[in-house]
Structure 1
Amino acid sequence: MPAPSRFGRLRASLTMDLSPLRESRDLRLLILGSTLTGLGTQATLVALPYQLYVQTHSPAQSGLLGAFELLPLVALSLYGGALADRVDRRRVLLLVQIALVLLSGALAVGAYLGEPPVALLYVLGALLAGGNAVQNVMRSSIVPNVVPPGKLRPALALSFGLMQVTMVVGPALGGVLIAVGGLGTAYAIDAATCLGMVASVLPLSPQAPRGATVDDVGVWRSIGEGLRFVRSRRALLGSFAIDLSAMTFGMPRTLFPVLSLSVYHAGATGTGLLNAAVSVGATAAALTAGWLDGARRLGRIVVVAVIAWGAAIAVAGLVPSLGLAMLLLALAGAADSVSAVCRSTINQTVTPDAMRGRMSSVFSLVVQSGPRLGDVEGGAVASLTSARFSVVSGGVACVAAAGLIAVAFPALLAYDADVAEAELAEATAQADAAAAAGPA
């Protein structure tokens, strides 16, 4: 048999491994539901700050949404993590989806009736953030248990890549829906897609945590154990720190309506396109991430990717046209995608399943709170200076923070994926054997 050509080897290294999707019915169900609900979630992420800016004409008040979202996001992320390590994760995921249907429906009703009070928009946005935080914790905790340990990395890349597809289509769809049917239509679509997630979760097999030992431990003590676990794993903690800094300083999403309306004069459609541009690049990178399957030093890749993200964001704040800004945001999204796949692998492989819900709660907290802190930071800096200065300074700060974190967390740079995955496989086998043996 002739040796594969250089082009063939390159294509194989870029092609995503689809075998986890073919082999696992539960993974297919989970990804299908996540894709459906992700479309609506992204439409709302465009619609809500856009509605606030249109009603208030204030970047600071639009960015303040992030501050209102932080408390429920923190509380429900941590509480959801404790639940995920003691009860059936599938059941909680189902209940959360029903709550999200009701919240999105309330936003739709308010938009159809006119201009609801700004305070009500903050409250509903905060509750949506909390509900989505619990949803993300449950979903992240389930994925490693529906595929063999050897298939975890491609399963995570596949899950992240398809989620990025929703982040491409969702924001663009949200912008179009607002322009054509109004804000109420965008929120109604969100409610409908949450119902789609309900339909996908119903046939999912039960997802009780493996090796759980927290039944007789109070929730607050359980949360404390999870936080101590995260603190004790320096590679894990470093991955959280670098993502939090990247999103706090380098994610200018609250400024997209400001840039679209006042700089590029592109209206709601431009807002959706700026949001979607990040995910276009992220999707392209995630769906060609086959080369990461053989990578071992994932922490080093994370640091380089975050530096690339911050640099692209900084340059995006300087360019004069919507098209160039979208191109740079797409490059930033590609770098963030590589970072996210690597960070997800690090997080899941250093964490036993009995602790995975609580680890995922901190992960979800970091992933969701970072952009919201960025909303506050970006809106405040833009109010004091300008939207362009806010974007550029945030990108520069992101690059600086990545360098500092690389120095502060050498365990992140030393992480070896092959060693971590072998240890995970051994721990999983021991937990399964203990469960099969039953109580002593």
Structure 2
Amino acid sequence: MSSPETGAGAAPPAAPPPTPRWRRILLDTRPLRNTAYRRLFLGQSVAFIGYQLTAVAVPVQMYAITDSSFWVGMLGIAGLVPLILFGLWGGAFADAIDRRTLLLISSVVLWVATGALVVQSLLGVDSPWLLLALTALQSAAFAVSGPTRSAIIPRLVPIEQVPSANTLNFTASNFGTVVGPLLAGLILAQWSYAVAYAVDAVLFTFALYAALRLPHLEPIGERVSPGLRAVGQGLAFIALKPVLLMSFAVDIIAMVFAMPRALFPQVANDWYGGGEAVGWLFAAIAIGSVLAGLSSGWIGRVKRQGLALTVAVMCWGLAVAAAGLARSLWLAVALLAVAGAADLVSAVYRQTILQVYAPDEMRGRMQGVFTVVVAGGPRLGDLRAGVTESWFGPTVSWVGGGLVCVVLVAAAALAVPKFRRYEGTTAPGR
């Protein structure tokens, strides 16, 4: 016999109260309720501020040593080659062994490379070749730690919270990209490169602690041998999935053609009078990303993620091109901030598509390729910007790259309708 609560005549349960409008707009913080994710998030967020100090100090030091944007662009090549090799290899390892252990080892190597930057600066070596070598070592370590950390996230939070977790991560990293360059500009103006590198080394200990406190995370599903065959399987998986392939292609286009950061040291001096202008230029894109992240509650509710990603990347290219025409520092910062807002949206959708589309036994390799593309694209962009500046000057290099990005992304999206129609609810592997 039915109880009064469950019988046919019982009143239906009360509907849950509607979600307040402000909570639909603001950053979704539900993933932070997970202790392991929260610790990883906080440790990486603090460490990323220090990482950005080094990201600014190295090209500024290189330009001071060589007086050449071409040498600054060469830092991109120094970082790209180990990024490709170790990114693919590191992703395969992340599918084969305990991901906590791999994250710890690669983080220690990254910490040691930062320490070596401190030493070379204190000794006054002033060698562009040494800077290239240490950049390569940092890139190799990052190429392993990056995909490993990203492959961990879907194991710590529910799948439906993965977009929110990615938004939190990108917002925090972009906050670091705001604070870090501004702090770098202050430190380099008042103190030295060694101080900037030393602060990075100290802050990175937070990331080491967070990795140490993670639970053991053995891969789920079929174990792979972390060799060339595993790497080839990962690349084949991407090649057969137009949605994944396009998510990588649009990012490569955006970063190679519309990333002007190799020009920042030069234009800060030539256009904006030097001083702390370089810090504002390096921080500007991230300022927009942080603001977009703080108002990103809507991102997880967008279904047409492929179309949203395409529009976001085109907005990035247009805003970058407009910034290259500005001769007021604050107008350039504002326009780069618009580009950064678009970049935050595109980054969240790219990462979410990849994490949800791939099964766990493929996530390490997928994140390895993602790391190669995300970190390698800007390095190729540095080289492109430096080379084209030497041929045509900074304005053509900057503005032309942004416009080429818009045209190529639009053409690619038109050529692959399956990507434009992709919805976040699509089952993995389809």
**TM-score normalised to structure 1 length:** 0.91
Please list, as runs of the form range in 1=range in 2, the aligned pairs for 1:161-172 lying within 5 A after superposition: 161-172=171-182
Give the drift of 1:178.
1.3
CA-CA distance at 1:5 after TM superposition: 11
Shift of 1:382: 0.7
Q: Report SS of the residue matched to 2:151.
A: helix
The AA in structure 2 aligned to 1:77 is G
8 Å CA contact 1:55–1:115 kept in 2: the answer is: no
How far the C-alpha of 1:4 sits from its partner, in A, is 9.4
Does 2:80 correspond to 1:70?
A: yes
Match of 1:237 in 2: 245
Question: Retained in 2: the 8 A contact 1:20–1:27?
Answer: yes
Deviation at 1:318, TM superposition (A): 0.6
Give the structure 2 partner of residue 436 of structure 1.
Answer: none
Question: Is 1:98–1:195's contact at 8 Å kept on the other side of the alignment?
Answer: no
Shift of 1:218: 5.4
Q: C-alpha separation between the residues in 2 aligned to 1:153 and 1:314?
A: 29
Alignment correspondent of 2:368:
361
Q: 1:379-436 CA distances to partner (integer Å, 9 max, x unpaired)?
A: 011111211221101101110111121023322212111234xx59xx9xxxxxxxxx
Tell me by how many angstroms 1:272 deviates. 1.3
Q: Which piece of structure 1 moves more, 314-323 or 285-294? A: 285-294
Give the residue type in structure 1 aligned to 2:185: G
Residue number in structure 2 paired with 1:142: 152
Q: Distance in 2 between matches of 1:212 and 1:38?
A: 33
- Choose which of 55, 59, 77 in structure 2 pairs with 1:49: 59
- TM-score computed with the length of structure 2 as normaliser: 0.94
Residue type at the aligned position of 1:112: L
Out of 341, 344, 349, the residue aligned to residue 334 of structure 1 is 341
Aligned 1:301-320 pairs, distance under 5 A: 301-320=308-327
Could you list the runs of 5+ residues in structure 2 that have no partner in the other structure? 1-13
Counterpart in the other structure of 1:277 = 284
Q: In the alignment, which residue of structure 1 is the partner of 2:358?
A: 351
Instruction: Name the CA distance, whole Å, in 2 between partners of 1:287 and 1:182.
Output: 33
Residue deviations 1:242-263, cap 9 Å, x none?
0011000111111111110111
Distance 1:275 1:101 in 2: 23
1:225 matched to 2:236? The reply is: no
Matched with 1:403 is: 410
SS in 2 for 1:43: helix
Aligned to 1:417: 424
Tell me which residue corresponds to 1:14.
Answer: 25
Partner of 1:433: none
Deviations 1:254-275 (A, max 9, x none): 11111101111123x2111111
Are positions 1:259 and 2:267 aligned together? yes
Q: Check 1:335–1:218 CA distance in 2 against 1; reply closer, same or farther (3 A cut).
A: closer
AA matched with 1:406 = A
Q: How does 1:159-238 map to 2 (within 5 A)?
A: 159-214=169-224, 217=225, 219-238=227-246
**Take 2:36 and 2:240, find their aligned partners in 1: how far apart are those partners?**
32
Whichever of the two has the greater Rg, that structure is 2
Does the CA contact (< 8 Å) of 2:89 and 2:226 recur in 1? no
How far did 1:101 drift?
Answer: 1.4
Kindly state the Cα deviation for residue 345 of structure 1 after the two structures are TM-superposed: 1.2
Q: In 2, Cα distance between the equivalents of 1:171 and 1:218?
A: 37
**Long gaps (5+) in structure 1:** 428-440
Q: Deviation at 1:12?
A: 2.9
- Is 1:287 the counterpart of 2:294? The answer is yes
Structure-1 residue corresponding to 2:11: none
| Alpha-carbon separation, structure 2, partners of 1:272 and 1:4 | 46
Alpha-carbon separation, structure 1, partners of 2:357 and 2:71: 40
Q: Are the equivalent residues in 1 in contact too, given 2:309–2:345 (CA < 8 A)?
A: yes
Check conservation: 1:101, 1:192, Cα contact below 8 A.
no
Letter matched to residue 257 of structure 2: F
Instruction: Determine the C-alpha separation between the residues in 2 that align with 1:12 and 1:419.
Output: 26
Shift of 1:203: 1.2
Partners of 1:218 and 1:190 in 2: how far apart? 31
Secondary structure at the aligned position of 2:106 is classed as helix
- Cα contact 1:315–1:328 (8 A) shared by 2: yes
Q: What does residue 399 of structure 2 align with?
A: 392
What amino acid maps onto 1:248 in structure 2?
V
1:82 to 64, 69, 92: 92
Among all aligned residue pairs of Structure 1 and Structure 2, give the percentage whose two residues are the same amino acid: 41
SS at match of 1:418: coil
Partner Cα separation in structure 2 for residue 225 and residue 280 of structure 1: 38
Aligned pair in 2 of structure 1 residues 378, 301: CA closer, same or farther (>3 Å)? same
Distance in 2, matches of 1:319 and 1:313, equals 10
Distance change >3 Å, CA 274–CA 129, structure 1 → 2 = same
Letter in 2 for 1:277: A
Instruction: Give yes or no for contact 1:286–1:341 (8 Å, CA) kept in 2.
Output: no
Aligned mates of 1:301, 1:411 — CA distance in 2: 13
SS in 1 for 2:215: coil
Q: SS state of the match for residue 297, structure 2?
A: helix
- Paired with 2:151 and 2:103, the residues of 1 have a C-alpha distance of 11
| Matched positions, count | 417
For 2:372 and 2:80, the matched residues in 1 are separated by 9
Shift in alpha-carbon separation, 1:286–1:218, aligned structure 2, 3 A:
closer
The answer to whether the Cα contact below 8 Å between 2:96 and 2:219 also exists between their aligned partners in 1 is yes
Equivalent position of 1:107 in the other structure: 117
The superposition leaves residues 353-397 of structure 1 with CA deviations (integer Å, 9 ceiling, x where unpaired) of 000000000000000011000000000111112112211011011
Question: Mean alpha-carbon deviation: is it higher for 310-319 or for 153-162?
Answer: 153-162
CA distance in 2, matches of 1:5, 1:141: 34
